[in-house]
Structure 1
Amino acid sequence: MIEGSARRSEIIRQLSVSEKPISASNFAKQFGVSRQIVVGDIALMRASGEEIIATARGYLLEESKSKEGLLSKIAVQHGPEGTRKELELIVQHGGEIVDVIVDHPIYGELVGGLHLKTSKDIDAFIKTYEGSQVALLSQLTGGIHLHTIRYEKETQLEEIKQALLEAGILYQSE
């Protein structure tokens, strides 16, 4: 079993070379500690300035992510049954879904990291959601939510918005 500071250094090293998220459970098994110990390690590292992103599939180091491309936020609205369609339309038109954002009446802005780039990423996210007893953040706000989208060309954003509009998902004020 690796002790605290050595374990945290190894977590950072592994995240820095990985292109895919690594779960707390994976680290826990590897280091012979509980998942909660790893979650605590991550919290300590984030508090000390490490840019670690938590996704539904595990942790990523921000430095290992490509920061290239353009970013925009889009507003959408749908029920849980529209989630897969929404995500697929964004990815099919060249977008990466960076996060989901809701405006909570008590806590203000809540942000959940997603980092979904491929159909495989979407499948894993949906499988995790369907296998859990947890509500989507969008269910807290009547289905209205934002996504930060990363894309390469302005035309891709317009294509994404048009596809979401045609599917009845792009949020339109009344």
Structure 2
Amino acid sequence: MNDKSKMSSTDRQKLIMDMLNQAEHPITGSDFANKTNVSRQVIVQDVSILKAKNEPIIATSQGYLLINQQMNEDLQRMVIVCNHTPEQTKKELYSIVDHGVTVKDVIVEHAIYGDLTASIMVSSRVEVDQFIKKINETNASYLSTLTEGIHLHTLEANTMDKIEAACKTLEEVGILIR
């Protein structure tokens, strides 16, 4: 933050929505914080308020995005079940994105909380590398460690053939559970 005056929460939230509506790529909380002269935590609160107002914002490992329902209607989706070690995560994600498929999320079943879902939103090797780097830099655990490696992914692509090809590759490397 610098010495400029801070924006009001209403103005910040409007700016966040305006920027997300125009964005072609995710925008980080730090980018919003720098633009509005507040802390990243204030941005997290603003985004939470916007989500509570039913704004279609998702947080990904690369930053915030708006879910555009109209654009996604033509895409094919499939939920798959995988099992692997944390060290195999890069191989798993590369095996999917190399077929032109987006990994939307990871889902695990927790004994107390039920299904836990986290947005991933990776579509390329570069995004996979950024995701893995962020996990390593923050010393975070993969959700799949809660379930001894078993987890689900929602896959999305413009054709079901691409998703099936990714599944075939995952099966060949022993990651997909059919």
Report the TM-score when normalising by structure 1: 0.95
Residues 111-130 of structure 1: pairs in structure 2 closer than 5 A: 111-130=117-136
Residues 1:137 and 2:143 aligned together: yes
The one-letter code sitting in structure 1 at the alignment partner of 2:91 is: K
Stretches of structure 1 that go unaligned for 5 or more consecutive residues are none
User: Is 1:46 aligned to 2:45, yes or no?
Assistant: no
Paired AA for residue 22 in structure 2: V
* Residue in structure 1 matched with residue 15 of structure 2 by the alignment: 10
Is contact 2:33-2:40 (8 Å) kept?
yes
Query: Which position in structure 1 is the counterpart of 2:174?
Result: 168
- Per-residue deviation, 1:140: 0.6
Paired residue for 1:32? 37
Q: CA deviation at 1:157?
A: 2.0
Deviation at 1:63, TM superposition (A): 2.2
Q: Which residue of 2 aligns with 1:158?
A: 164
Q: Percent identity at matched positions?
A: 38
Provide the C-alpha distance between the structure 1 equivalents of 2:160 and 2:59, rounded to a whole number of angstroms: 28
Moved over 2 A (4+): 63-66
How many residue pairs get aligned? The number is 172
| Matched AA of 2:110 | H
TM-score normalised by L of structure 2: 0.93
Paired amino acid for 1:33: V
Bigger drift between 55-64 and 70-79 goes to: 55-64
Conserved in 2, the CA contact under 8 Å of 1:84 and 1:126? yes
Q: What is aligned with 1:62?
A: 67
Q: CA deviation at 1:154?
A: 2.1
Separation (CA, whole Å) in 2 of partners of 1:160 and 1:21: 24
Matched, 1:110 2:116: yes
RMSD value, Cα: 1.3
| 1:71 aligns to 2:116 (yes or no) | no
